[in-house]
């Protein structure tokens, strides 16, 4: 069974809840998805792979740099803020300048959502890596510290050691989310 790959860009507006057929509240994210405009088609003969380049979210003309303006002019579209490439097997189904809307999805479809997690700033080991904290008693001097960083022998900290640092603000993929409703 082959499934047709569908892709669209969007911005998360917020969250709410919707009641399903069993009167159970389902938490949902509201996403403004599309319309996305096809800017370029890439083919195996010229580029070595097949994909479509898609733009989303209008941008003022003066905010686009000169190379980007030329790229948009070639596609005969207004400047767009976000540009992304999607690898698709059926590139010939799309034309440059064509708009892709949220209508390609239907209620009940399973989708993978890729986005940027909320940046939390500098966080300690307990919050960032779920380290166990020490005793909070009066005699203890070890409350929320990361503990030992390694043995005396190597006399260095190995790469990849879980330590306090910046938390969030990175690319996250959540797979198998269900589309609850689509408003065109």
Residues 98, 39, single domain; the answer is yes
Per-residue pLDDT reduced to its tens digit, 33-79 = 989 999 999 999 999 999 999 999 999 999 999 999 999 999 999 99
Residues 20, 107, single domain; the answer is yes
Q: How far is CA 101 from CA 60, 68, 118, in A?
A: 21, 23, 26
Residues 122, 48, single domain; the answer is no
Can you give the pTM of this predicted structure? Answer: 0.79
CB atoms inside a 10 Å sphere around CB 8: 20
- Residue 3: pLDDT band (50, 70, 90) is low
* Mean pLDDT within 18-36: 93
Residues 91, 162, single domain; the answer is no
Domain hosting residue 145, numbered range: 118-168
CA 127 to CA 118: how far, in whole Å? 14
85-105-170 Cα angle (round to 5): 45
Residue 115, pLDDT above cutoff 70:
yes
Helix (H) or strand (E) holding 128: helix 125-129
Burial (CB count within 10 angstroms: exposed 0-12, middle 13-18, buried 19+), residue 167: middle
CATH number at residue 156: 4.10.960.10
CA 123 to CA 139: how far, in whole Å? 25
CA 43 to CA 50: how far, in whole Å? 5
- Residue 80: pLDDT band (50, 70, 90) is very high
Q: What is the mean pLDDT of the chain?
A: 92
């Amino acid at each position: 069974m082959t499934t047709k790959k569908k892709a669209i860009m969007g911005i998360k507006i917020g969250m709410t809840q919707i009641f399903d057929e069993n009167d159970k509240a389902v938490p949902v994210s509201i996403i403004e998805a599309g319309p996305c405009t096809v800017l370029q088609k890439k083919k195996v003969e010229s580029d070595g792979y097949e994909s479509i380049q898609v733009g989303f979210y209008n941008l003022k003309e003066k905010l686009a740099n000169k190379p980007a303006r030329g790229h948009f002019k070639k596609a005969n579209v207004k400047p767009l803020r976000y540009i992304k490439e999607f690898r698709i097997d059926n590139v010939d189904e799309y034309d440059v300048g064509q708009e892709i809307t949220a209508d390609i999805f239907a209620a009940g479809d399973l989708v993978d959502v890729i986005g940027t997690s909320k940046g939390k700033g500098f966080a300690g080991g307990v919050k960032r890596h779920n380290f166990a904290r020490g005793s909070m008693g009066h005699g203890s001097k070890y409350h929320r510290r990361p503990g030992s960083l390694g043995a005396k022998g190597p006399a260095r900290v190995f790469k990849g050691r879980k330590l306090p640092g910046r938390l969030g603000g990175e690319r996250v993929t959540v797979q198998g989310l269900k589309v609850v409703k689509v408003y065109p």
